[in-house]
Amino acid sequence: MQVISQHKCFGGIVTYYSHISSETQCEMRFSAFMPPASVKTRVPVLTYLSGLTCTEENFTVKAGAYRKASELGIAIIAPDTSPRGDGVPTGDGIGFGAGFYVDATQAPWNKNYRMYSYITKELYLLIGTNFPVDNHRHGIFGHSMGGHGALTLYLKNPDQYKSVSALAPVCSPINAPFGQRAFAAYLGDNMPLWESYDATKLLIALGDGSHRSEILVDQGLEDHPLSRLNPDLLKKACAQVNQKLNLREHAGYDHGYFFVQSFIDDHLSHHARLLSASFS
């Protein structure tokens, strides 16, 4: 693991790292914010998953999260969204910046596009081993495609992620044109496998969700077309299985990072509350 750059921020430190990934078989990058409290003790940690076309830079420089994270004493890890580099395939309207947080099964994608295992296994272990964080208080959140990733990774890995939230998530990629393109390329025609990476289908398959923590979702009502995100399907699925959901809809807000900035503090507070409760 190599340090690319390091920056003081609200009393903490933002560091950009690169490392060679055994899962994606290429160089991967991520940023890590360590709050001032991490100098003295292990702190709760959040993994943030970005959306289509993004890198580790988007959240780090645009979300405005670190003032609140410093105040709350929470570390934040922001990985890239897909494998990149010479020999890594791209094209067909998917590829770089569009890993969709799945493990691809179809050539030529299956060699490198293993973002599900990269986040949940390799990066999770790397962070817990090398940083002053408490992996027993680990939450996950994301935006757009990353919101899809956060929801599915949380639902599939309840022993790892103790809290979840999403901003304008792709709630049902199997019902979104770009999700269908990506899943067809990465996963072939295996519909049960598609459904295992779709939050609305996962909720139904997992059944009673009354034991899980509340899901916080914020959605702008000027985010067009909303049909690509399907928050209504998420709301319906949560109601069907008694999953606690706080779906907040906001007039006038679109899909971009000005929207993310507007509600990021609420998401950090949501996680701080749940991760504190999981530790007590």
Going by pLDDT thresholds of 50, 70 and 90, the confidence category of residue 227 is confident
pLDDT tens, 50-86? 999 999 999 999 999 999 999 999 999 999 999 999 8
Number of structural domains (the chain) is 1
The residues annotated with a catalytic role in the active site are 144, 223, 255
Mean of per-residue pLDDT scores for the chain? 95
Angle, helix 199-206 to helix 145-156, in steps of 10 degrees: 20
- Which pLDDT does position 280 carry in this prediction? 42
| Sign of the four-CA dihedral 81, 27, 111, 130 | negative
Q: Supply the CATH number for residue 26's domain.
A: 3.40.50.1820
Which residues, at least 6 apart from 249, have a Cβ–Cβ distance to it below 8 Å? 219, 220, 221, 231
Rg, Å, the chain Cα set = 17
pLDDT tens, 205-221? 999 999 999 999 999 99
pLDDT tens, 87-118? 899 876 576 689 999 999 999 999 999 999 99
> Could you tell me the residue range of the domain that residue 184 belongs to?
2-279
The dihedral over CA atoms of 212, 159, 59, 66, expressed in degrees to the nearest 10, equals: 90
Count CA atoms closer than 13 A to 132's CA, side-chain side. Answer: 15
Question: If we measure between CA atoms, which residue out of 157, 147, 114 comes closest to residue 247?
Answer: 147
Q: Per the structure block, which two tokens stand in for 191?
A: 């519909």
The mean pLDDT of 248-275, rounded to a whole number, is: 97
- Which pLDDT does position 90 carry in this prediction? 84
